[in-house]
Amino acid sequence: METNNQPQSPVPTSETSQLSKKERREMRREEKRSANASLHKARSLRRVVLWVIALVALGGVVAGVVYLATRPGETPNENGTPLTENISPSDWVRGNANSSVSIIEYGDFQCPACAQYHPIVKILEQEFGTQIVFSFRHFPLSQAHPNAKAAAHAAEAAGAQGKFWDMHDMLFERQTEWAPKPRPQSTFVSYAKELGLNTDQFEKDMDRDDFENKIDSHYQTGIASGVNFTPTFFLNGVKLDNPKSLNDFRHTLVQAIEKTPAPSDTIPAADEPPPTDTTVPQSNETQSDADKANL
């Protein structure tokens, strides 16, 4: 019987076969882990690049805002937005038109808060009329106050006959009378008659396109200057947090006057008498009523 002396290959057992399958599965898992790691690194790198681009863009925006807010001749308000237009010859002003201290109010004739501030502002105009120039600009919030723009037209129409401030005061003081009416124009005409105006001319002027353009221009300068409620006051171009009382407002104005040097041409010569004090004194009753206004 012939004997086969050739070495025999070992027959694989089930244990050896099972081990090979595990190894193959582990190799596949390792390949997947490597692929996932590479994908994660690629995604992380892409996120880093996007963040760098965003930060560079944000830096450009911030630099632009800083540049705009600090350009010569423009005063930034508390929000970093410059008052886009200082008092011009087209603005309605009272007080000392030559003063270097200015108060600009953006107001809405139908706004209840503006009506509350009106007696406060009027007292301050009387107290500081020789030291400060006061100006009013239209900012009608037409969605909330549908008669506000018509009232602004009435004030401008009265101004065409030299009675802007008279109509301005009357509109605030009688706000509850005309504000609820669907069409208050006839009421405005009655106010014009009371002020001694030519009512036919007044009615025509209420529809003037140039007044519409002026009111819209005031509104746009307010938007550009960060106005988003009424009244909004700017003191020397700086947006104020609305003072809560007459005394608070008065204190703010006194500080502004003290910080602002008087023009050299207003200093009297040595041989000239000092100017007469023309400040209008306030009665205790009027001042007390204003102080009670809890704004």
Single-letter amino acid code for the residue at 11:
V
Q: Going by C-beta distance under 8 Å and a sequence separation of 6 or more, which residues neighbour residue 102?
A: 86, 87, 132, 133, 134, 135, 234, 235, 236, 237
φ, ψ of residue 97 in degrees (nearest 5): -65, -20
DSSP state of 179: T
- Tens digits of residue pLDDT in 126-167: 999 999 999 999 999 999 999 999 999 999 999 999 999 999
Single-letter amino acid code for the residue at 66:
V
Q: What is the mean pLDDT of the chain?
A: 77
Query: Does the global pTM surpass 0.95?
Result: no
- Tens digits of residue pLDDT in 77-131: 444 455 767 898 889 999 999 999 999 999 999 999 999 999 999 999 999 999 9
φ, ψ of residue 193 in degrees (nearest 5): -65, -40
Q: 191 near 170, Cβ under 8 Å? A: yes
Q: 234 near 103, Cβ under 8 Å? A: yes
3-state SS, residue 234 = strand
How confident is the model over 226-243, as a mean pLDDT? 94
Matching residue, tokens 């909330």:
144
Fold of the 92-260+283-291 domain? Glutaredoxin (3.40.30)
Which stretches does DSSP call E strand in 59-174? 92-95, 102-107, 133-138
